[in-house]
Structure 1
Amino acid sequence: MNANLLELQGVHTHIGAYHILHGVDLAVPRGQLTMLLGRNGAGKTTTLRTIMGLWRASQGRIGFGDQDITTTDTPQIAGLGIAYVPENMGVFADLTVRENMLLAARKAKHAGQMDEKRLQWIFSLFPAVEKFWNHPAGKLSGGQKQMLAVSRAIVEPRELLIVDEPSKGLAPAIINNMIDAFAQLKASGVTILLVEQNINFARRLGDTVAVMDNGVVVHSGPMQQLAEDEELQRTLLGLAL
């Protein structure tokens, strides 16, 4: 079995006339949490969207397990066990928290068919999801919406969880809660790829790290190595952790 659950090899992505990714090489090891870092505009979100088939790779290969998913449609990619939480969270504001969760639980036709044991586990990670179960999702705070978005992504078992900037705009207490939740998710065996700007978040959670700049990965390796090397941090990110 390949040690990497997800691999990108020489991936290019064009959006209209714009050439955004210029040959991305990225490996996401099984059972680990990989941080994808970089300045704004480096190509991180485009990389995630390309993995999910929302934008097509114009060159290169994307492998998931032993499958080539480079040209696979998004619904089929999701069906392989990959969940994606976009930066805007994608919460349906007019639906209740329960209805949002039910939409993601594709094997359930009504709330009573959702896996109760799994729901209780999710409630233990994100108590607000249980507290506001019958409330409209649009009335939740930013942090609560982020908890709902992640909860929705894991309402069914997933092999790979991809999340774009989960701590963006959140209060420190909510960020700590999110860090604890991702640590528990990783301990449960879920492989995770996170785009993040909060450096403390990255340092506390990451096993491996890839740093992007101008549409390519310019550094990859253990997160601890980057966290301990201030000169490397300044070179790659323009700041010290």
Structure 2
Amino acid sequence: MTQNLLELHGVHTHIGAYHILHGVDLVVPRGQLTMLLGRNGAGKTTTLRTIMGLWQASQGHITFNGQDITKKHTPQIAGLNIAYVPENMGIFADLTVKENMVLAARSAKTAAQIDQARLQWIFKLFPAVEKFWNHPAGKLSGGQKQMLAVSRAIVEPRDLLIIDEPSKGLAPAIINNMIDAFRQLKESDVTILLVEQNISFAKRLGDTVAVMDNGRVVHAGSMAALAEDEALQRSLLGLAL
């Protein structure tokens, strides 16, 4: 088993005429939570979408668990036990919360076939998921949709979770629930890659960090070390944590 579950080497991504990623080098250590930080427009979301095959890398390569996935299609990548929560959450608005969860639980065809112990754990983390179980997902508030999106990602055990701004739109109390959820997931040896703008969230959760600017990773290391170095924070992010 390799130490790093996910690795990107020299990854370039073009979207039409636009060259967005300019040789991204990124490692995501197995069993850790890696924060991907950077100013708006730095290339963070494009990096996640390229990992998932939604956009194809034009150069470089991506490996997951030692396997080259650079040219694989998104369903094949998801089939390797990777869950992705995009910034727009990707829920099915016309389906109920329950139906959204059943779709995400690939081994279940009905709600009764979902792992009930895991489902009860999710309900404790995000009570709104249980409260609105039979409601159309499109009727939920923004924060409730975010909780549903993360719940879908964790309804079955995954080897890697890739989540784009999970705290976006959430009230502080729900953010604390989210942090608790990710901590529990880390304890179960799940590897997590998070893009996040909430710096307090990043400090409390991150093991390792990569900072992007202008389509490249310009800093990588310990999250704790970055959190303690205000000069480095200002240099990389234009602000202090």
Task: Please give the TM-score of this superposition, normalised by the length of structure 1.
Answer: 0.98
Q: What letter matches 1:142 in structure 2? A: G
1:167 aligns to what?
Answer: 167
Question: Which residue is 1:150 aligned to?
Answer: 150
- Give structure 1 stretches of 5+ with no counterpart: none
Residue 124 of structure 1 deviates from its aligned partner by 2.3
Q: How does 1:62-77 map to 2 (within 5 A)?
A: 62-77=62-77
- Structure 1 residues 140-179: Cα deviation after superposition (integer angstroms, max 9, x where no partner): 1211111110110111210000000111122222211211
Residues of 1 paired with 2:32 and 2:164: CA distance?
17
Distance 1:184 1:141 in 2: 25
Deviation string, structure 1 residues 96-147 (Cα, Å, up to 9, x no partner):
1000001111221222222212212222222221121111111212111111
Bigger shift: 127-136 or 62-71? 127-136
Inter-partner Cα distance in structure 2 for 1:224 and 1:114: 37
Q: Which residue is equivalent to 2:113?
A: 113
- Residue in 2 aligned with 1:215? 215
Question: SS state of the match for residue 168, structure 2?
Answer: coil
- For the pair 1:98 / 2:98, whether they are aligned, the reply is yes
| Alpha-carbon distance between aligned partners in 1 of 2:214 and 2:231, rounded to the nearest angstrom | 20
Aligned residue for 2:156, secondary structure, equals coil
Secondary structure of 2:48's partner? helix
Percent of aligned pairs with the same amino acid: 85
In 2, the alpha carbon distance for the partners of 1:25 and 1:72 equals: 19
Q: Partners of 1:76 and 1:156 in 2: how far apart? A: 17
Following superposition, the deviation at residue 6 of structure 1 comes to 0.3
Contact 2:38 2:237 in 1 (8 A): yes
Root mean square deviation, CA, Å: 0.9
The corresponding residue for 2:131 is: 131
Alignment partners' CA distance in 1, 2:167 and 2:150: 12
Counterpart position of 1:196 = 196
CA contact (8 A) 1:126 1:181 kept: no
Gaps of 5+ in 2: none
Corresponding position of 1:176: 176
Given the alignment of the two structures, is residue 40 of structure 1 paired with residue 40 of structure 2, yes or no? yes
List structure 1 segments (4+ residues) > 4 angstroms apart after TM superposition: none
Using the size of structure 2 for normalisation, the TM-score is 0.98
Distance in structure 2 (CA, Å) of the matches to 1:112 and 1:169: 31
Query: Aligned equivalents of 1:200 and 1:111: distance in 2?
Result: 35
Alpha-carbon distance in structure 1 between the residues aligned to 2:84 and 2:227: 26
| Aligned position for 1:22 | 22
Distance 2:210 2:111 in 1: 39
SS in 1 for 2:84: strand
Mapped to 1, the partners of 2:182 and 2:155 lie a distance apart of 14
Structure 2 equivalent of residue 89 of structure 1: 89
